[in-house]
Structure 1
Amino acid sequence: MRVEAIVKLGGSVITAKDKPMIVNNRALNRLASEISASELEKIVIVHGGGSFGHPLALKYKLNEKFTGSEEQIAGFTITHRAMLKLNERVLEALGRKGLKVAPLPPLAFATLASGSLKSMFYEPFINALNMNLTPVTFGDIVFDSDRGFSIVSGDLLMSELSRKLQPLKAIFTIDVDGLYVDDPKYNPDVELITEATVAEVEPLLSRLRFKSSDATGGIRFKLEQACRIACAGIDVYIVNGLKPGRLFKALKGEKVRGTLIKGVR
């Protein structure tokens, strides 16, 4: 079995980032259509939390050490339930386009230690793929042996699943056209990096100046995980999920505006 692609549906794409608990239905439905139209048979989908997960994780300080407070314990459940609600919307959108999906919440298959991955149970993903189902997972709050609980981001799941399943490609959909050395939302003259090696991307990490209220590390952490995937010999595409057709082109291996981080071979 060869996995054809692992795709991240960015939280900033499928939700209204500045409006808590609101789905960007137009973007989500279109991305589901593009995945379906690609006709890829072995694909894994990961989605971010956007306005469902990040504000709650920050509000309840879920990336900090467990204090035992009733508020933090309540926040654990509230945040997880919010992510389940978003996941249900993603599953519905994919199902309407004919995909047979298998929801896999990370709370049930992953644990962390001091915020870093400690263990991950991959067999459900392999079983689902062998049954011609599309596994769908997401960034979530999980148990942490040192802190009590921590957030496992969709970007970390992308990295770990890619390294284990060895897909032909990994694709991140975000809300800009790809990788820049500055935030194009604030610097419209900055140039898009269309293709790069890991050796070329790594020096840029310390120079990135993106503004972020992301509870999971933002663009820098995303690129660190993208480089980990590329170091495993897998091509990584970063494309704008808000622009029609770009995910489809990346899935089909067609020329697309975005950034390609070439797998190390």
Structure 2
Amino acid sequence: MNNLYILKLGGSIVTYKDSKEFKIRVALLEQIARELKIIVNVNDLKLIIVHGAGSYGHVPAKLYGFDKKQDMNDINWLGALKVKSSVQELNTMIIDIFLKNNLPVFPIHSSSIVKKNKGAIDQFFLSSIEAALDNNLIPVLYGDMVFDVDEKISICSGDQIVPYIANQFKIEKIFYATDVDGVFDIDPYVSTEAKLIREVEMNGEVINMKADLTSSHNKDVTDGLRGKVLELFTLKHSTEVCIFNGLRGENFELAMLGKLKNCTKIKKT
């Protein structure tokens, strides 16, 4: 499908991820909605949005033990359902903000279309996404608790969803909105000497860059930036990935039109 992009809104963009309280970034989400409406309409683009769970997912997931492998004979089902309820609540609030700003988004609950096996996506029903796109709507998916053949239930992160969808739709451009300018040689939240890596080449299973791909500086049960980059190895075709700072609303247009300088572009060949 021509001019179809994926935009991943990181958990630190939709929520105050390092906060102990559940709080979403209302003003930023309103700005993002307005920016995306213009970008999509003016440039005749189709868009799939995937958002992270932020504090709404990672805090309860860790509380109920889903940051580590579960005992299959003692699944905390009530805890899993509370995590699921929390991320669904976040999705509903994001959808409401987008709709109030006239962005035609259609929520698709990942748990209803995804099934995993041993932690990897095993089944993914795409028909709802296709129908939304055919009707000029923007499908919105998110990290969720999903059934797992081997583990009974497990987390399906937005960073797993993105490359899977990209492969199915043969998407050529993916955008990750994060709380940093891109990939750095060392964590910019730890050192003022951190340098932004603007271009990265991925060839097969080899990534050509010198960077400290540690987990996110925020509390993250899905492995943060390191997890994002590692999941990109599952891309099966030539793709350009842009990781940029989504805390600055004006960056969305610049990034999606290829005009943003302070970002990391990863090319999968």
The reply to whether TM is greater than 0.5 is: yes
Aligned to 1:16: 16
Q: Which amino acid aligns with 1:251?
A: M
Q: What is aligned with 1:77?
A: 81
d(CA) in 2 for partners of 1:195 and 1:205? Answer: 11
Q: Match for 2:69 among 64, 77, 85?
A: 64
**One of 125, 128, 153 as aligned partner of 1:124:** 128
Q: Answer whether contact 2:201 2:208 (CA < 8 A) is retained.
A: no
Determine the structure 1 residue equivalent to 2:238: 233
Which amino acid is the alignment partner of residue 250 of structure 1? A
CA distance in 2, matches of 1:205, 1:90: 36
Q: Structure 1 residues 42, 118: closer, same or farther in 2, change over 3 A?
A: same
Q: 2: CA distance between counterparts of 1:209 and 1:69?
A: 31
**1:218 equivalent in structure 2:** 224
Q: CA deviation at 1:74?
A: 1.1
Cα drift, residue 41 of structure 1 = 3.7
1:35 aligns with 2:36: yes
Cα drift, residue 144 of structure 1: 0.8
Unaligned runs of 5+ in 1: none
Identity %: 29
Shift in Å, 1:252: 2.1
- The separation in 1 between residues aligned to 2:172 and 2:208, in whole angstroms, is 26
Give how far 1:117 is off.
Answer: 1.2
Q: Is the 8 A contact 2:214 2:225 kept in 1?
A: no
Distance in structure 2 (CA, Å) of the matches to 1:214 and 1:165: 28
1:221 alignment partner AA: G
Partner of 1:105: 109
CA contact (8 A) 2:172 2:238 kept: no
Report the structure, 1 or 2, having the larger helix content: 1
Residue ranges of structure 2 left out of the alignment (5+ in a row): none
Tell me the CA shift for residue 205 of structure 1. 8.2
Q: Distance in 2 between matches of 1:75 and 1:3?
A: 40
Q: Per-residue deviation at 1:16?
A: 0.8
Give the residue type in structure 2 aligned to 1:54.
Answer: H
2:178 to 174, 178, 197: 174
Distance in 1 between the 2:139 and 2:185 partners?
A: 33
Q: In structure 2, what is the Cα distance between the partners aligned to 1:205 and 1:25?
A: 36
Number of residue equivalences? 262
Normalising to structure 2: TM-score of the pair? 0.90
Distance 2:251 2:231 in 1: 21
- Asked whether the equivalents of residues 101 and 133 of structure 1 are also in contact (C-alpha less than 8 Å), the reply is yes
More strand as a share of residues: 2
Whole-Å separation in 2 of the counterparts to 1:256 and 1:203: 20
- Residues 201 and 177 of structure 1, relative CA distance in 2, 3 Å threshold: farther
- Is the Cα contact below 8 Å between 1:2 and 1:166 reproduced in 2? no
TM-score by length of 1: 0.91
What's the CA shift for 1:32?
1.6
Q: Deviations over 1:122-152 (max 9, x none)?
A: 1111111011111000001101111111100
Corresponding residue of 1:245: 250
